[in-house]
Amino acid sequence: MAPPSSRRSGFSKKAQYSLFTGYLLAGACALLGLGLLVLSLWQPAAFAPVRGLATDVVAPAGQVAATTRSGSQGVLASIAGYFGAGRQNAELRREVEIARIRLAEAEAVKAENRRLKSLLGLNEGITKPVAVARLVGSTATSGRRLAYISAGASDGVLPGMPVLSERGVIGRVLETGRSSARVLLLTDSESVLPVRRATDNVIAFAEGRGDGLLRIRLVNLGVNPLKVGDTMVTSGAGGYYRSGVAVAVIDTITPDGGIARLVAEPGATNYVAVEPIAQAAAIETLEAAERPAPAPSPSPSRKPVASSSASVPLETVD
Protein backbone atom coordinates (compact mmCIF):
# COMPACT_ATOMS: atom_id res chain seq x y z
CA MET A 1 0.00 0.00 0.00
CA ALA A 2 1.39 3.37 -0.98
CA PRO A 3 0.95 6.20 1.50
CA PRO A 4 -2.04 8.43 0.67
CA SER A 5 -1.06 11.05 -1.90
CA SER A 6 -2.28 13.80 0.44
CA ARG A 7 0.72 13.05 2.65
CA ARG A 8 3.26 13.70 -0.07
CA SER A 9 4.40 17.29 0.09
CA GLY A 10 5.22 17.79 -3.61
CA PHE A 11 5.80 21.43 -4.50
CA SER A 12 3.33 22.80 -1.93
CA LYS A 13 5.26 25.01 0.46
CA LYS A 14 2.53 24.60 3.10
CA ALA A 15 2.73 20.81 2.99
CA GLN A 16 6.52 20.93 3.09
CA TYR A 17 6.50 23.18 6.14
CA SER A 18 3.95 21.08 8.00
CA LEU A 19 5.97 17.93 7.31
CA PHE A 20 9.11 19.67 8.53
CA THR A 21 7.32 20.94 11.66
CA GLY A 22 6.14 17.40 12.38
CA TYR A 23 9.68 16.07 12.28
CA LEU A 24 10.90 18.99 14.37
CA LEU A 25 8.21 18.46 17.03
CA ALA A 26 8.79 14.71 17.17
CA GLY A 27 12.54 15.21 17.48
CA ALA A 28 12.05 17.79 20.24
CA CYS A 29 9.71 15.40 22.06
CA ALA A 30 12.28 12.61 21.81
CA LEU A 31 14.94 14.92 23.26
CA LEU A 32 12.55 15.96 26.04
CA GLY A 33 11.92 12.28 26.74
CA LEU A 34 15.65 11.64 26.93
CA GLY A 35 16.04 14.50 29.39
CA LEU A 36 13.16 13.24 31.55
CA LEU A 37 14.57 9.71 31.42
CA VAL A 38 17.99 10.85 32.61
CA LEU A 39 16.32 12.94 35.33
CA SER A 40 14.20 10.06 36.58
CA LEU A 41 17.13 7.61 36.52
CA TRP A 42 19.13 10.13 38.53
CA GLN A 43 16.27 11.05 40.89
CA PRO A 44 13.86 8.08 40.85
CA ALA A 45 11.38 9.79 43.16
CA ALA A 46 11.10 12.93 41.02
CA PHE A 47 7.86 11.89 39.30
CA ALA A 48 6.34 10.02 42.22
CA PRO A 49 3.52 12.56 42.80
CA VAL A 50 2.36 12.40 39.17
CA ARG A 51 2.49 8.62 39.21
CA GLY A 52 0.63 8.54 42.53
CA LEU A 53 -2.13 10.70 41.06
CA ALA A 54 -2.39 8.45 38.02
CA THR A 55 -2.51 5.25 40.07
CA ASP A 56 -5.18 6.71 42.35
CA VAL A 57 -7.38 7.12 39.28
CA VAL A 58 -6.81 3.58 38.01
CA ALA A 59 -6.89 1.76 41.37
CA PRO A 60 -10.71 1.28 41.38
CA ALA A 61 -10.48 -0.60 38.08
CA GLY A 62 -7.75 -2.70 39.67
CA GLN A 63 -10.11 -3.46 42.57
CA VAL A 64 -12.63 -4.92 40.13
CA ALA A 65 -9.91 -6.94 38.42
CA ALA A 66 -8.65 -8.19 41.80
CA THR A 67 -12.13 -9.31 42.82
CA THR A 68 -12.54 -11.21 39.55
CA ARG A 69 -9.10 -12.72 39.93
CA SER A 70 -9.72 -14.03 43.45
CA GLY A 71 -13.14 -15.33 42.40
CA SER A 72 -11.74 -17.24 39.45
CA GLN A 73 -8.93 -18.65 41.62
CA GLY A 74 -11.59 -20.07 43.97
CA VAL A 75 -13.50 -21.69 41.10
CA LEU A 76 -10.36 -23.32 39.70
CA ALA A 77 -9.31 -24.53 43.13
CA SER A 78 -12.70 -26.11 43.84
CA ILE A 79 -12.71 -27.88 40.45
CA ALA A 80 -9.20 -29.16 41.09
CA GLY A 81 -10.31 -30.27 44.55
CA TYR A 82 -12.68 -32.90 43.12
CA PHE A 83 -9.77 -34.79 41.66
CA GLY A 84 -7.80 -36.84 44.16
CA ALA A 85 -10.05 -35.90 47.07
CA GLY A 86 -9.79 -39.31 48.74
CA ARG A 87 -6.02 -39.46 48.64
CA GLN A 88 -5.85 -35.91 49.91
CA ASN A 89 -8.21 -36.79 52.75
CA ALA A 90 -5.92 -39.55 54.02
CA GLU A 91 -2.88 -37.32 53.69
CA LEU A 92 -4.57 -34.48 55.53
CA ARG A 93 -5.64 -36.78 58.37
CA ARG A 94 -2.05 -37.88 58.84
CA GLU A 95 -0.84 -34.29 58.67
CA VAL A 96 -3.38 -33.15 61.25
CA GLU A 97 -2.14 -35.76 63.70
CA ILE A 98 1.43 -34.60 63.26
CA ALA A 99 0.34 -31.00 63.52
CA ARG A 100 -1.42 -31.72 66.83
CA ILE A 101 1.82 -33.08 68.24
CA ARG A 102 3.75 -30.10 66.98
CA LEU A 103 1.13 -27.74 68.40
CA ALA A 104 1.57 -29.27 71.81
CA GLU A 105 5.31 -28.85 71.51
CA ALA A 106 4.82 -25.24 70.45
CA GLU A 107 2.58 -24.60 73.45
CA ALA A 108 5.40 -25.84 75.67
CA VAL A 109 7.91 -23.64 73.94
CA LYS A 110 5.53 -20.68 74.17
CA ALA A 111 5.12 -21.18 77.89
CA GLU A 112 8.84 -21.39 78.37
CA ASN A 113 9.29 -18.32 76.19
CA ARG A 114 6.80 -16.36 78.29
CA ARG A 115 8.54 -17.42 81.46
CA LEU A 116 11.97 -16.41 80.13
CA LYS A 117 10.66 -13.10 78.80
CA SER A 118 9.07 -12.27 82.14
CA LEU A 119 12.43 -13.05 83.72
CA LEU A 120 14.12 -10.62 81.35
CA GLY A 121 11.44 -8.01 81.77
CA LEU A 122 10.65 -7.71 78.06
CA ASN A 123 7.17 -6.79 77.00
CA GLU A 124 5.67 -8.35 73.91
CA GLY A 125 4.84 -5.80 71.27
CA ILE A 126 1.98 -6.71 69.00
CA THR A 127 2.33 -4.89 65.66
CA LYS A 128 -0.98 -3.65 64.40
CA PRO A 129 -1.12 -3.19 60.65
CA VAL A 130 -1.45 0.38 59.39
CA ALA A 131 -3.77 -0.70 56.60
CA VAL A 132 -5.11 -3.84 54.98
CA ALA A 133 -5.38 -3.55 51.23
CA ARG A 134 -5.82 -5.48 48.04
CA LEU A 135 -3.09 -5.97 45.47
CA VAL A 136 -4.73 -4.19 42.54
CA GLY A 137 -2.09 -4.49 39.86
CA SER A 138 1.53 -4.71 38.90
CA THR A 139 3.96 -3.61 36.23
CA ALA A 140 3.60 -6.63 33.99
CA THR A 141 5.46 -5.26 30.97
CA SER A 142 8.47 -3.76 32.68
CA GLY A 143 11.64 -5.41 33.96
CA ARG A 144 10.93 -3.89 37.36
CA ARG A 145 8.73 -5.86 39.73
CA LEU A 146 6.42 -3.31 41.31
CA ALA A 147 2.87 -3.86 42.52
CA TYR A 148 0.04 -1.47 43.32
CA ILE A 149 -2.02 -1.71 46.49
CA SER A 150 -5.30 -0.01 47.22
CA ALA A 151 -4.19 1.94 50.29
CA GLY A 152 -2.23 5.16 50.28
CA ALA A 153 -1.19 8.21 52.24
CA SER A 154 -4.77 8.86 53.40
CA ASP A 155 -4.68 5.48 55.19
CA GLY A 156 -1.37 6.34 56.86
CA VAL A 157 0.85 4.39 54.49
CA LEU A 158 4.36 5.84 54.21
CA PRO A 159 7.26 4.94 51.92
CA GLY A 160 9.44 2.26 53.50
CA MET A 161 6.69 0.40 55.32
CA PRO A 162 6.79 -3.40 54.98
CA VAL A 163 3.98 -5.13 53.14
CA LEU A 164 3.12 -8.63 54.39
CA SER A 165 0.63 -11.28 53.45
CA GLU A 166 -0.62 -13.94 55.84
CA ARG A 167 2.18 -16.21 54.61
CA GLY A 168 5.14 -13.86 54.71
CA VAL A 169 6.89 -10.82 53.27
CA ILE A 170 5.64 -9.37 49.96
CA GLY A 171 7.82 -6.27 49.73
CA ARG A 172 7.91 -2.71 50.90
CA VAL A 173 6.19 0.52 49.99
CA LEU A 174 8.13 2.60 47.49
CA GLU A 175 5.85 5.53 46.67
CA THR A 176 2.45 6.56 47.93
CA GLY A 177 -0.48 8.28 46.30
CA ARG A 178 -3.56 9.40 48.20
CA SER A 179 -5.44 6.11 47.97
CA SER A 180 -2.90 3.82 46.34
CA ALA A 181 0.74 2.94 46.77
CA ARG A 182 3.54 1.32 44.83
CA VAL A 183 5.21 -1.69 46.41
CA LEU A 184 8.69 -2.91 45.55
CA LEU A 185 8.32 -6.69 45.45
CA LEU A 186 11.03 -8.96 46.82
CA THR A 187 11.62 -10.40 43.35
CA ASP A 188 12.73 -7.05 41.92
CA SER A 189 16.42 -7.07 41.15
CA GLU A 190 16.91 -3.87 43.18
CA SER A 191 15.40 -5.36 46.34
CA VAL A 192 17.72 -6.45 49.15
CA LEU A 193 16.43 -7.80 52.45
CA PRO A 194 18.46 -8.87 55.51
CA VAL A 195 17.41 -12.39 56.53
CA ARG A 196 18.46 -15.16 58.90
CA ARG A 197 17.80 -18.88 59.04
CA ALA A 198 14.69 -19.61 61.07
CA THR A 199 16.36 -22.19 63.29
CA ASP A 200 19.55 -20.34 64.20
CA ASN A 201 21.41 -17.11 63.55
CA VAL A 202 22.97 -17.71 60.13
CA ILE A 203 22.53 -14.24 58.65
CA ALA A 204 22.39 -13.39 54.96
CA PHE A 205 21.01 -10.99 52.39
CA ALA A 206 18.10 -11.98 50.16
CA GLU A 207 18.41 -10.25 46.79
CA GLY A 208 15.87 -10.42 43.97
CA ARG A 209 17.27 -11.99 40.81
CA GLY A 210 14.62 -10.65 38.47
CA ASP A 211 13.33 -14.09 37.52
CA GLY A 212 11.14 -14.79 40.53
CA LEU A 213 13.83 -16.39 42.71
CA LEU A 214 15.89 -14.85 45.49
CA ARG A 215 19.65 -15.12 45.79
CA ILE A 216 20.64 -15.72 49.42
CA ARG A 217 24.14 -14.35 50.05
CA LEU A 218 25.69 -15.27 53.38
CA VAL A 219 27.36 -12.51 55.34
CA ASN A 220 29.93 -14.82 56.93
CA LEU A 221 31.68 -16.68 54.16
CA GLY A 222 33.35 -20.01 54.85
CA VAL A 223 31.63 -23.36 55.07
CA ASN A 224 28.13 -22.92 53.70
CA PRO A 225 25.79 -24.13 56.48
CA LEU A 226 22.60 -23.82 54.41
CA LYS A 227 20.63 -26.89 53.39
CA VAL A 228 17.88 -27.33 50.83
CA GLY A 229 14.54 -26.72 52.52
CA ASP A 230 15.81 -24.23 55.12
CA THR A 231 13.38 -21.42 55.79
CA MET A 232 14.78 -17.90 55.83
CA VAL A 233 13.01 -15.27 57.94
CA THR A 234 13.55 -11.53 58.30
CA SER A 235 16.34 -10.74 60.73
CA GLY A 236 15.08 -7.31 61.65
CA ALA A 237 18.43 -5.73 60.79
CA GLY A 238 18.04 -2.38 59.11
CA GLY A 239 14.92 -1.67 61.09
CA TYR A 240 12.27 -1.74 58.38
CA TYR A 241 10.86 -5.23 59.03
CA ARG A 242 10.10 -6.79 62.37
CA SER A 243 12.17 -9.95 62.81
CA GLY A 244 10.91 -13.47 62.29
CA VAL A 245 8.60 -13.10 59.27
CA ALA A 246 8.97 -15.88 56.71
CA VAL A 247 10.66 -14.82 53.44
CA ALA A 248 11.86 -17.76 51.39
CA VAL A 249 12.76 -21.45 51.33
CA ILE A 250 16.17 -22.55 50.05
CA ASP A 251 15.90 -24.41 46.76
CA THR A 252 19.49 -24.78 45.51
CA ILE A 253 22.82 -24.39 47.26
CA THR A 254 25.48 -22.14 45.74
CA PRO A 255 29.07 -21.54 47.01
CA ASP A 256 28.13 -18.23 48.67
CA GLY A 257 24.66 -19.13 49.89
CA GLY A 258 21.72 -20.37 47.92
CA ILE A 259 18.86 -19.73 45.59
CA ALA A 260 15.52 -19.53 47.36
CA ARG A 261 11.85 -19.60 46.44
CA LEU A 262 9.37 -17.08 47.85
CA VAL A 263 7.10 -18.17 50.67
CA ALA A 264 4.45 -15.55 49.91
CA GLU A 265 3.83 -15.18 46.20
CA PRO A 266 1.97 -11.94 45.51
CA GLY A 267 0.07 -13.49 42.60
CA ALA A 268 -1.64 -15.93 44.98
CA THR A 269 -2.46 -13.24 47.53
CA ASN A 270 -5.69 -11.32 47.81
CA TYR A 271 -5.18 -9.10 50.82
CA VAL A 272 -1.95 -7.70 52.19
CA ALA A 273 -1.22 -5.86 55.42
CA VAL A 274 0.94 -2.74 55.52
CA GLU A 275 2.80 -2.68 58.83
CA PRO A 276 4.51 0.27 60.47
CA ILE A 277 8.27 0.52 60.12
CA ALA A 278 9.61 -1.72 62.88
CA GLN A 279 12.20 0.62 64.36
CA ALA A 280 11.17 3.99 63.04
CA ALA A 281 13.37 5.79 65.53
CA ALA A 282 16.48 3.93 64.41
CA ILE A 283 15.70 4.66 60.76
CA GLU A 284 15.18 8.32 61.55
CA THR A 285 18.60 8.61 63.18
CA LEU A 286 20.21 6.75 60.31
CA GLU A 287 18.67 9.03 57.71
CA ALA A 288 19.46 12.11 59.76
CA ALA A 289 23.09 11.02 59.90
CA GLU A 290 23.15 10.68 56.11
CA ARG A 291 21.80 14.16 55.46
CA PRO A 292 23.32 16.53 58.02
CA ALA A 293 21.14 19.62 57.52
CA PRO A 294 17.79 19.06 59.34
CA ALA A 295 17.68 17.98 62.97
CA PRO A 296 15.86 14.67 63.51
CA SER A 297 12.45 14.96 65.12
CA PRO A 298 12.36 13.15 68.46
CA SER A 299 9.10 11.27 67.88
CA PRO A 300 8.95 9.75 64.40
CA SER A 301 5.26 9.07 64.67
CA ARG A 302 3.16 8.68 61.56
CA LYS A 303 2.46 11.99 59.98
CA PRO A 304 0.78 12.11 56.59
CA VAL A 305 2.94 13.44 53.80
CA ALA A 306 0.03 13.88 51.47
CA SER A 307 0.61 17.62 51.29
CA SER A 308 3.84 17.12 49.39
CA SER A 309 2.10 15.09 46.72
CA ALA A 310 -0.57 17.72 46.31
CA SER A 311 1.70 20.72 46.14
CA VAL A 312 3.89 19.55 43.27
CA PRO A 313 2.42 20.83 40.01
CA LEU A 314 1.24 18.24 37.55
CA GLU A 315 3.36 18.56 34.49
CA THR A 316 2.11 17.58 31.08
CA VAL A 317 4.17 16.71 28.09
CA ASP A 318 3.14 17.10 24.49
Partner 1 sequence: MERLDPRARSDMYGRRINRAPSPWRARSLPYVTIMLGSLLPTLLIADLMPLSPPFGLLMLLGWRMVRPGLLPLWAGAPLGAFDDLFSGQPFGSAILLWSLAMIAIEMIETRFPWRGFWQDWFTGSVIALVYWIVSLLVSGARLTPELLAVALPQALLSVLLYPIVARLVSGLDRFRLARARKID
Q: Interface residues with partner 1 (CB under 8 A)?
A: 1-4, 6-7, 22-23, 25-27, 29-30, 32-41, 44, 46-47, 50-51, 54-55, 58, 61-62, 65, 69, 135-148, 185, 187-190, 209-213, 265-267, 316-318
What is the maximal distance between C-alpha atoms in the chain? 95
* One-letter amino acid for residue 178 of the chain: R
Angle of CA points 42, 234, 97, to nearest 5°: 145
Q: How far is the CB of 182 from partner 1 (least distance, A)?
A: 8
Q: Is the dihedral of CA 59, 138, 129, 270 positive or negative?
A: positive
DSSP letters along 160-199, please? T-EEE-SSSEEEEEEEE-SS-EEEEETTSTT-EEEEEESS
What's the closest the beta carbon of residue 241 comes to partner 1, in angstroms? 18
Q: Decide: 231 and 196 in contact? Cβ < 8 Å.
A: no
Nearer residue to partner 1 within complex by CB, 37 or 219: 37
Q: Min. distance of Cβ 167 from partner 1 in angstroms?
A: 13
Q: What distance in Å separates the CA atoms of residue 250 and residue 230, rounded to the nearest whole number?
A: 5
How many helices (H) and strands (E) would you count in the chain? 5, 12
- Write down the least CB distance from residue 25 to partner 1, Å: 4
- Is 316:200 a contact under the CB 8 Å cutoff? no
Nearer to partner 1, 144 or 283 (CB): 144
In angstroms, give the least distance from the CB of 12 to partner 1. Answer: 15
Q: Which one, 200 or 211, has the nearer CB to partner 1?
A: 211
CB nearer partner 1, residue 51 or residue 284? 51
* Element containing residue 131 per DSSP (H, E): strand 131-138
Q: Report, in Å, the least distance between residue 285 CB and partner 1.
A: 28
Nearer to partner 1, 3 or 255 (CB): 3
If the CB atoms of residues 31 and 103 are measured against partner 1, the closer one turns out to be 31
Residue type, 150: S
Q: What is the DSSP letter of 39?
A: H
